[in-house]
A = this chain, B = another copy of it.
Amino acid sequence: MARTVGSDGERTQAATRDAAAALIARHGYEAMSMRQLAAEVGVQAAALYRYFPTKQDLLYSLMRDHMDGLIESWKAARPAALGPAARLEHFVANHIAFHVARRHSTHVSNMELRSLSRERLSQVLKLRTAYEKELRRILRDGVEDGAFRIDDVALTAMAIIQMITGVIVWFRPDERLSVEEVTRNYLTMTMRLVGANAKQEERHVRDRAEFRAG
């Protein structure tokens, strides 16, 4: 068992995850074989099975890590003391930054839920729900304190997540807009989508200027 930990093993696992995410994003989970993956990583297939006893274990590991990472990144970015508009801004900015930096695992997470076993699917969906709840809480707080005008909090949360995850479908960092410019545009659209009123929008612009300056 000693050989499964330590830096060599960790490097192999990390390389395996990266290669698997890229292969699955390119060809689909079912079309990828562990043999093909091993060749890509430059190890024997047996070495992979040490870390990921089945292909399904590997897929689950990718998806769980993706969601754990997303939730962790939001916990680190989440401002405790700010109002709903500023919290929504941080949520959107963190979500876009996280996904743009993880194009492959985002594709895997979005496309291969179909390939998870029922039990593991329910584990991954639990993590998704926990993450979406964070957004719903922000939206609900905004409705309660009059900052947002929203007809259906759950629907609006889904619409925002689809809209901002969609950035990775078309955005390439070498195009006419930088990721910062794209994010700024999506922040403005999100604020309008939640019916943030003009007064709130002014306050939010001021908060943002302070946030960027700080």
Contacts and interface: CB of A to CB of B under 8 A. Distances in A.
Interface residues of A, number: 35
Interface stretch (A78-86, A158-166, A204-212): A158-166
Interface stretch (A6-14, A41-49, A58-66, A183-191): A183-191
A89 B27 CA distance: 37
Contacts of A29: 28
Copies in the complex: 2
A47 to B, nearest CB: 25
Contacts of A25: 114
Contact of A185 (B28, B151, B160, B194): B151
Interface of A: 25-31, 111, 114, 149, 151-152, 155-156, 158-163, 165-167, 169-170, 177, 182, 185-186, 188-189, 192-195
18 contacts: A26-B114, A27-B30, A28-B29, A28-B30, A28-B31, A31-B31, A111-B111, A151-B185, A152-B177, A155-B185, A156-B185, A158-B166, A159-B163, A159-B186, A161-B166, A162-B162, A162-B163, A192-B192
